[in-house]
Amino acid sequence: MVDEQLRKRGIGDERVLAAMLEIPREEFVPIESRVLSYADDPVPIGFGQTISQPYMTALMAQSLALKGTETILDVGAGSGYGAAVLGVLGARVISIELVPALAQFAMRNLQRTGRAGNVTVMVGDGSIGYADAAPYDAITVGAGAPETPAGLIGQLRDSGRLVIPVGTRKDQSLMIITKKKGATDSRAVTQCRFVPLRGAEGWR
């Protein structure tokens, strides 16, 4: 996976590659789908949600430019895989999930694999973030939004980065949004296709 899907497609951050090697992806996929764990595709995890394609997980993590000291908000815990990768790369991860059963699934996966030490899974509307632990050095959103939620920008620390898919329900651009002195700068990284971001600042 790392050699064929990541290195050859431009993932060059060695910390990200090491994290992807370290986290056992099969432990975050439903048992009936484990044969697909390392496929170059998203994998269904129930409730209309997916675990993202490995390349997209790595690209989003690389786009955050993490050094190891950051507090990170992960919107859309899903199975907990992305949060586990971020937990290797940052100091603290708050992962928020709208579906209670998926939040429980993520927490069980993180605990079973010994990755829960610096990762907390919360149940809630990730489209509005989690103000109690803000500001964040980095925010990643694992679902496509109609526009960048103002609440997430407000919870981003100055000089922080937000990585989010923005577009229609079916197709989005993966955006890197950097905050500096209260203003934001945005650039598109690639085209992508995520499940819709649900919530007050997502798709209703």
Position 182 pLDDT exceeds 90: no
Contact 87, 119 (CB under 8 A): yes
Contact 199, 128 (CB under 8 A): yes
Contact 83, 139 (CB under 8 A): no
Residue 122: Cβ within 10 Å count: 17
pTM over 0.85: yes
Give me the pLDDT at residue 35, please. 95
Give me the pLDDT at residue 204, please. 80
Mean of pLDDT values over 53-58? 97
Contact 165, 172 (CB under 8 A): yes
To the question of domain 2-192 being in CATH 3.20.20.70, the answer is: no
Domain locations along the chain: 2-192
Which positions are catalytic? 52
3-state class of 156 per DSSP?
Answer: strand
Strand 43-46, strand 49-51: pairing:
antiparallel
